[in-house]
Amino acid sequence: MALSHPMTLTRALIITMRPYLLFVSGITGLAGMALAGPVPGSVAIPVFLASFFSYGFGQILTDCFQTDTDALSAPYRPLTYGAVKRSSMMGLAVAGLLLCSAVFALRNPINGVLGAVAVLGLATYTPFKRRWWGGPFYNGWIVLVLALIGYFAATGPTDVPLPVSAFPLLAAVLFGYANFVLAGYFKDISADAATGYNTLPVVFGRRKAAYASDVLAGLAVLAFAAAAVLSQETGGAGIQMIPAALFGAAGIATTIRGQMLLHRNREDGLAHIPIGLVVQSYMLLLSGLVALHQPGWSFFLVLHFLVYRIVFSRRPEATQI
């Protein structure tokens, strides 16, 4: 049965979009922009907002293809119990993603292509989630594209090659987000096994999946370290590097804590604790990388992270992330 009351429909959209994870795409787009040097507010604000909301629309789209496993692991979501029409939600998701892509493309035509590739990736993610080797990296490259979009939106339609400093940052995005995806599977192992999603934890068990997660987490930290070393070699130093160092130290400490708890996890219903730390470590490491390239953005980065923590603590279902 479709919802008819506008406020009820709005609430359904908010729940499905996962407001507490919009900050993940927000920091990713911001990281891409940070590589471009000085960015005027008239550019940074709309590009950041489009990045921020793109995660929510992407989440709606992928949820449209995963109602089978979500019905078992996340029955509170409106799509799983028929509170909203799948076709309506898919239409809203595509419209929202197209709007975000339009904002990006107006700044740089190449983003029209990158946006289309990312939307196609989101629409085809579910088959890869069913294969243990596919889900984390398939989702990771889509988020990596968002960082590239942020960079090209900030540079505008100029023939500016990616700086060398982009590569460790993009590696941190790829491995850090892939780890979030893999850790996220720990909360849905029973539901995924029952519905044919052969994720890495389903096929190989929690212990081996946790070791695989360690590798991804380690690669993300190494990428952050490489970016910091590269910054030193290209002249970055002094008091302006303190925010990046603080974010980085907090991110590494959170990474270690999250991985330790992931190894101790034995129940789907308690997996949200280490998963939350994995998300937080991604946020902190990316914030550190942004501060590394744009120290002047540090106040906003702190505010962004604090608001994220508040919104995250108020998610509708504690065991789901």
Q: Average pLDDT in the 39-50 region?
A: 95
Give the pLDDT confidence score for residue 8 in this predicted structure. Answer: 67
Give the pLDDT confidence score for residue 233 in this predicted structure. Answer: 57
At a CB cut-off of 8 Å and minimum separation 6, what does 113 contact? none
pLDDT digit string, tens, across residues 1-21: 344 444 467 778 888 889 999
CA–CA distance, 301 with 115 (Å, rounded to integer)? 25
By CB atoms closer than 10 A (0-12, 13-18, 19+), residue 246 is middle
Domains contained in the chain, CATH given? 11-313 (1.10.600)
Give the pLDDT confidence score for residue 284 in this predicted structure. Answer: 98
Whether pLDDT at 178 is above 50: yes
CA–CA distance, 100 with 96 (Å, rounded to integer)? 6
Q: What does each C-alpha distance from 312 to 220, 233, 239, 260 come to in angstroms?
A: 22, 37, 31, 21
Q: Average pLDDT in the 81-101 region?
A: 87
Whether pLDDT at 123 is above 90: no
CA–CA distance, 216 with 176 (Å, rounded to integer)? 7
Residue with tokens 């996962």: 18
CA–CA distance, 141 with 139 (Å, rounded to integer)? 6
Q: Average pLDDT in the 60-84 region?
A: 81
Return the number of other C-beta atoms located less than 10 Å from residue 122's C-beta: 23
> Coil, strand or helix: which one is 56?
helix
Whether pLDDT at 315 is above 70: yes
Q: Which long-range contacts (CB under 8 A, 24 or more apart) does 301-304 make?
A: 301/30, 301/243, 301/247, 304/23, 304/26, 304/27, 304/30
Give the pLDDT confidence score for residue 90 in this predicted structure. Answer: 87
The structure's pTM equals 0.92
What token pair was written down for 80? 């799983």
Give the pLDDT confidence score for residue 145 in this predicted structure. Answer: 97
Q: Which range, of 199-208, 226-235, 245-254, 305-314, averages the lowest pLDDT?
A: 226-235
Q: Average pLDDT in the 27-43 region?
A: 94
pLDDT band at 48 (very low <50, low <70, confident <90, very high): very high
At a CB cut-off of 8 Å and minimum separation 6, what does 242 contact? none
Q: Average pLDDT in the 308-320 region?
A: 89
CA–CA distance, 321 with 272 (Å, rounded to integer)? 7
Return the number of other C-beta atoms located less than 10 Å from residue 197's C-beta: 22
CA–CA distance, 259 with 275 (Å, rounded to integer)? 9
> Coil, strand or helix: which one is 5?
coil
pLDDT digit string, tens, across residues 244-303: 999 999 999 999 999 999 999 999 999 999 999 999 999 999 999 999 999 999 999 999
Give the pLDDT confidence score for residue 5 in this predicted structure. Answer: 44
Give the pLDDT confidence score for residue 238 in this predicted structure. Answer: 65
Q: Average pLDDT in the 123-139 region?
A: 93
Give the pLDDT confidence score for residue 7 in this predicted structure. Answer: 42
Closest CA to 219 of 279, 283, 169, 172: 172
pLDDT band at 62 (very low <50, low <70, confident <90, very high): confident
Whether pLDDT at 187 is above 60: yes
Give the pLDDT confidence score for residue 3 in this predicted structure. Answer: 44
CA–CA distance, 199 with 140 (Å, rounded to integer)? 15
Whether pLDDT at 135 is above 70: yes
On average, the pLDDT of the chain sits at: 91
Written as one string, the DSSP assignment of 34-49 is HTTS---HHHHHHHHH
Q: What is the DSSP letter of 74?
A: -
Considering only the C-alpha atoms of the chain, give the largest distance between any 2 of them, rounded to a whole number of Å.
60
Whether pLDDT at 158 is above 70: yes
Q: Average pLDDT in the 117-136 region?
A: 93
Output 177 or 11, whichever has higher pLDDT: 177
Give the pLDDT confidence score for residue 107 in this predicted structure. Answer: 95
